[in-house]
Amino acid sequence: METQTPERKKIIFSAIQPSGSITLGNYLGALKNWVALQDEYQCIYALADLHAITVRQDPAQFRRHALEAYALFLACGIDVEKSLFFIQSQVHTHAELAWVLNCYTQFGELSRMTQFKDKSAKHPENVNAGLFTYPSLMAADILLYQSDLVPVGADQKQHLELARNIAERFNGLYSPTFRVPEGYIPKVGARIMSLQDPTRKMSKSDENANAWIAMLDKPDDIVRKCKRAVTDSEACVRYAEGKAGVNNLMGIYSAVTGKDYEEIEREFEGKGYGEFKLAVAEAVVEELRPIQERYAKYIADKAYLEECYSAAAQKALALSSRTLNKVMKKVGFLGRG
Ligand code: ATP
Ligand code: LTN
């Protein structure tokens, strides 16, 4: 009798930093996609809290953000029965592999990373070594799990490319050790822009809270932020060059409702920005309502959250140790006997 080996599910890895309140940008650019991928792939997701301390965090707030993010991801539909969802700092193999990979990453390569340049310009008082070597830790996250695909927003493409280069370099120096991952960038929602400065991406660490919509914002706040969103003086809802603010709102509306730009232009023909902004706000409120309801239940049950992330950390440790042990052996460490 012929036996068929079941096809191996491809492995997906991604992470988000719990460096603030999770935004609509994170959701549309990353999280929503993560949820959709869970049936087709073996998904491994993490809260990248080690990455988050490259920028100074207030300890109490940091702890709160991590727990909130964990609950929020479950509320968005990350299913711990199907996917592995853990907290990076609870799995020590990440920091260990990151150190090794640091020694296979060039100063010049890290110097070219635009995120490093942006963040060091933004925090000139704290341009720490962790901020500089951030991409080696991200490479470790991905490579530890022999990931095939890495869903990220467009801003992370450069880091992913570096992770591929590090993997290829290591494989070439020794023997095949890491699977070389591919990026997976969503078509819509890949770059949601700030509501106050639509030439910059919506970012949870933006000091101006009107620039971003948090996943846990109240409906009134969402309406207010959308109403105040920077647009232009043309007063015509159409997707065009030089209309970054309107384009961004159309992008949000499209990602939430599934309507394409032409449909949106027809829907708002002859209507002003006021009406359009309100429609965007209402669509966002409706998208977030069920998520916020589920979130309230999860965050009230700390014991359940702890159970989930502790079990996930154990599994992640077992899985990632396989790769780390191989690496240590190939590099020539004596090993622990
Ligand atoms: P920070 O402000 O701390 O740099 P961030 O809000 O930019 O954080 P990250 O934790 O760096 O978010 O990113 C988490 C994921 O969300 C990544 O995959 C990233 O590409 C995606 N993402 C972040 N901001 C946006 C955005 N504005 N539009 C689309 N995707 C985004
Ligand atoms: N650097 C990413 C977060 C991140 C990540 C990862 C994404 C940390 N490790 C591994 C994908 C794969 C960010 O800032 N968005």
235 alpha carbon – ligand 2 mean position (Å):
38
| 26 CA to centre of ligand 1 in angstroms | 5
Q: Which ligand is nearest to the CA of 203?
A: 1
Q: Is the predicted pLDDT of residue 268 greater than 60, yes or no?
A: yes
Locate the domains of the chain by residue range.
11-185+302-331, 209-297
Tokens 């409906």 — which residue? 219
Q: What is the DSSP string of 153-189?
A: -GGGHHHHHHHHHHHHHHHHHSSS-S---EEE--SSS
Nearest Cα residue to atom 11 of ligand 2:
14
Which CATH architecture describes the domain 11-185+302-331?
3-Layer(aba) Sandwich (3.40)
Q: Given the CA of residue 134, which atom of ligand 2 is nearest to it?
A: 1
Question: How is residue 72 written in tokens?
Answer: 């929020």
The pLDDT value recorded for residue 172 is: 98
- Residue in 119, 225, 243, 277 annotated catalytic: 119
pLDDT in tens, 78-106: 999 999 999 999 999 999 999 999 999 99
Percent of the chain whose pLDDT exceeds 70: 96
Provide Rg for the chain, Cα atoms: 21
pLDDT at 146 (0 to 100): 98
CB-based pocket (< 6 A), ligand 2: 13-17, 48, 51, 138, 141-142, 150, 152, 156, 159
Backbone angle region of 41, left / alpha / beta, with phi > 0 → left and psi within -120 to 50 → alpha: beta
| pLDDT on residue 155 | 83
Query: What is the per-residue DSSP string for 210-238?
Result: GG--BTT--HHHHHHHHHT----SS----
Residue 310 has pLDDT above 60, yes or no: yes
Tell me the per-residue pLDDT of 202-229, one tens digit each, with 9 for 90 and over. Answer: 988 788 999 999 999 999 999 999 999 9
Compute, in angstroms, the gap from residue 240 CA to the centroid of ligand 2: 31
- What is the C-alpha to C-alpha distance for residues 21 and 213, in angstroms, rounded to an integer? 9
Question: What is the per-residue pLDDT for 190?
Answer: 65
φ, ψ at 128 (rounded to 5°): -85, 165
Residue nearest to atom 12 of ligand 2 (CA): 14
Atom of ligand 1 nearest to the CA of 156: 20
pLDDT at residue 53 is higher than 70: yes
Nearest alpha-carbon partner for 112 in 143, 146, 158, 72? 158
Which ligand is located closest to the Cα atom of residue 94? 2
DSSP symbols for 273-306: HHHHHHHHHHHHHHHHHHHHHHHHHHHT-HHHHH
* Residue 201 annotated among the catalytic residues of the structure: yes
| Burial label, 173 (beta-carbon count in 10 A; 0-12, 13-18, 19+) | exposed
Same CATH topology for 11-185+302-331 and 209-297?
Answer: no
Task: Report the top-level CATH class of 209-297.
Answer: mainly alpha
Ligand 1 site residues (CB inside 6 A) read: 16-17, 19-20, 23, 25-26, 29-30, 152-153, 155-156, 189-192, 201-205
What does the alpha-carbon distance between residue 40 and residue 112 come to, in Å, rounded to a whole number? 35
Catalytic residue (one of 122, 187, 204, 302):
204
191: number of Cβ within 10 Å: 17
Helices 59-76 and 273-299 pack at an angle, to 10 degrees, of 100
pLDDT category, 189, cuts 50, 70, 90?
low
- Which ligand ends up closest to the CA of 136? 2
